[in-house]
Amino acid sequence: MKLLIIEDEKALNASMVSYLQQGGYTCDTALNYHDGSRMLADQHYTCVLVDLTLPGGNGLDLVRVLKKNSPDTGIIIISAKNALDDKITGLELGADDYLTKPFHLSELNARLRSVIRRRNFNGQKVIRIGNLEVFPESAEALVQGRKLTLTKKEYDLLLYFVTNKNRVLTKDSIAEHLWGDHIESLDSLDFVYTHIKNLRRKLVEAGSEDPITTVYGMGYKFSI
Amino acid sequence: MRILTKTSLYYLLVSVIVFLLGGLSFYKILQTEIYDEVDDQLFTDKENIIEYIRSHNELPNVTSGISEAIIVRETSAHAGALEALSDTLIFSTYDEEYVPFRKLTFTTYQDGKPFEYTILKSLMDFEDLFESTMLAMAWIFVLLLIGLAGVNYFINKYNWRNFYDTLERAKRYSLTQRKPLLLKPTDTQEFQELNEVLQAMTGKIHNDYLNLKEFTENASHEIQTPLAIVSSKLELFMQSDNLTQAQAAMLEEMHASINRLSRLNRSLILLTRIENQEFSENEIIPLHELLQEQLDQLHEMMLMHDIQVEIEDMQPVFVEMNIGLCEILISNLLLNAIRHNSTGGIIRISLRADELCIKNSGEPLQEEPVTLFERFRSGNKLSGSMGIGLALVSKISELYQLTPSYTYEEGLHVLRLRFQKNIT
């Protein structure tokens, strides 16, 4: 799967490339509007990550062009502007998602997966890791063919882990993924712990080995 | 008071004074003139009478046409010559009232004997003249009033029309509209100047506003980008295999701080944007539905804290607000009630047409309730909150003229939002 990352901040661009490459994506990068526009014309990408404030032009124009010329390409807008109208315009123009900087790379990865899954109708409908199967369409998970009874949050957590398997996920990023803006004023880290504890118990009870390991005090890692 | 009403009142006041003084002096002048005239006539009569007596050696009778009334009285010789003018009232049996007269009394000799003559002239004509003058003045006054009202009406309608139009447009002008203030050109010099000044002023303010807005957005952009870089690098760093536990702990702390900083930055940007009134797209929101939605979303958190929610009242209430801000408002109120609750506590909610009331159990406040809605106030440090939630509530309330208030009643924190308008 080929991605194009159009972001003028070199360091951030490199971080995204580094994280996403580990997830098996091929990444092209563009640091300004014209390079981005040229590369979009030359090649076909599965998904494009585009910043709105680019040297040489507005990312929204790229979204517009892309939507016209290559409607099956997924688009995620990455912007430091949390301006509501930009978000609305972006989504109206046909962007699939809108991420405000700063974001967690794991969150970006999860959103990217979700966009690709939604767009890729004929593709993979089940994610298999060891004896675990996750069906994003029906929001179900099976262990050794047996259905897990998960709450909505536990399922979201599992999908987040599966999408970012073998990566260290911080409690903050998990909390933000599960609760969004609400986490701002809640002692969410205890909740994360509780949810992870429950998810682990359910996975183990269903016959899986415990796939979630605690990485020092830093966070959690999912690996089978 | 309208300026026209005010000027009219001044005009009226001056007119009343002018009419009073004018009437008074008119009266005085007229009186003097008429007295002069009447006195002249009386003296002429006197000369005529003396002349008559001299030539005829008898008194003129009433029909001789010399005077209206002559009263003759014999007088003693030593009384001396006398000549006096005075006013007098004589009862008229015909009019059945006293009638003012001017009388001249003088002494003259007939056959060597002194006689006192008194001749009279009625001042009735003068009284009549005075009355009709006053009546005429009153009529002129009334006509002036009517004229004034008419002139005012037309000035109001045609001359001031442009001014009121400008006023109305200026009232409706909002910086967030992104449209310049357009005013109708007028041929009245003062109003045209006013329009030009207003347009120049709003233009400048609008420019400043745009600059400020741009600065805010740029500032957020400039801060968010380095934050994003640090955050992403830390996350990549965390993926390293050979970290020691101490390094991992440091990374975790850095990451958590960066997160906190970026959330804080976002909230502050949001506050600024609310202050800048950038959320001007309002819609009618069913508050009861939104409240229920937010309660459902927070249900899990309440369960974890073992908090019971009691709905005391949930009436359908519709408010006109920006949907995003309304969500932030409600969720911050509810989060506040959860956060400052005790485990196993309760939250009581009542939504009525005039107010939303959220009560929650919890320890009494350590500080003054007035500081509650300020920024960076958090009751207890252990929660790690930034104390910006209620500042947001207060800002949003201010924007929509809702009045938030806090009381502590029977062991419950009570936060009320009073709706004033916006209710449809």
Domain boundary (A102, A119, A136) is at A119
User: What does the alpha-carbon distance between residue B291 and residue B297 come to, in Å, rounded to a whole number?
Assistant: 10
User: What does the alpha-carbon distance between residue B336 and residue B341 come to, in Å, rounded to a whole number?
Assistant: 8
Q: Is B68 helix (H, G, I), strand (E, B) or coil?
A: coil
User: What does the alpha-carbon distance between residue B84 and residue B107 come to, in Å, rounded to a whole number?
Assistant: 10
| Enclosing domain of residue A176 | 127-222
CATH number where A62 lies:
3.40.50.2300
Tell me: do A81 and A167 sit in the same domain.
no
Domain boundary (A89, A119, A149) is at A119
Q: What is the ipTM of this complex?
A: 0.86
Chain B interface includes A88 (CB < 8 A): no
Among the partner residues A80, A182, A219, nearest to B331 by beta-carbon distance: A182
Tell me: do A81 and A146 sit in the same domain.
no
Among the partner residues B224, B245, B249, nearest to A80 by beta-carbon distance: B224
Chain A interface includes B241 (CB < 8 A): no
Tell me: do A115 and A131 sit in the same domain.
no
Chain A interface includes B72 (CB < 8 A): no
By the 10 Å C-beta count (0-12 exposed, 13-18 middle, 19+ buried), A51 is classed as buried
Among the partner residues B252, B297, B386, nearest to A217 by beta-carbon distance: B252
Domain count, chain A: 2
Tell me: do A104 and A138 sit in the same domain.
no
Q: Which one, of B367, B260, B272, B352, lies nearest residue B313 by Cα?
A: B352
Tell me: do A12 and A104 sit in the same domain.
yes
pTM: 0.62
Tell me: do A49 and A134 sit in the same domain.
no
CA distance A108 to chain B (A): 11
Reading chain B (424 residues) residue by residue, the pLDDT tens digits are: 777 788 888 888 988 898 889 888 888 888 888 888 888 988 888 888 888 877 877 777 655 556 667 777 777 666 566 778 888 888 777 777 788 888 888 887 777 777 788 888 887 777 787 788 788 888 988 898 898 888 888 887 788 888 888 888 888 887 766 677 888 888 888 888 999 999 999 889 888 888 887 787 677 767 888 889 999 999 999 988 888 888 888 898 898 888 888 888 888 778 777 877 777 778 888 999 999 988 888 887 788 788 899 999 888 988 888 888 888 889 888 888 888 888 888 999 999 888 899 999 888 777 777 677 776 655 544 444 556 778 888 888 888 888 888 888 888 889 988 887 544 4
CATH number where A161 lies:
1.10.10.10
Chain B interface includes A174 (CB < 8 A): no
User: What does the alpha-carbon distance between residue A217 and residue B243 come to, in Å, rounded to a whole number?
Assistant: 12
Tell me: do A20 and A84 sit in the same domain.
yes
User: What does the alpha-carbon distance between residue A62 and residue A11 come to, in Å, rounded to a whole number?
Assistant: 22
Tell me: do A106 and A77 sit in the same domain.
yes
A4: β partners: A28, A48
Contact B232 A168 (CB under 8 A): no
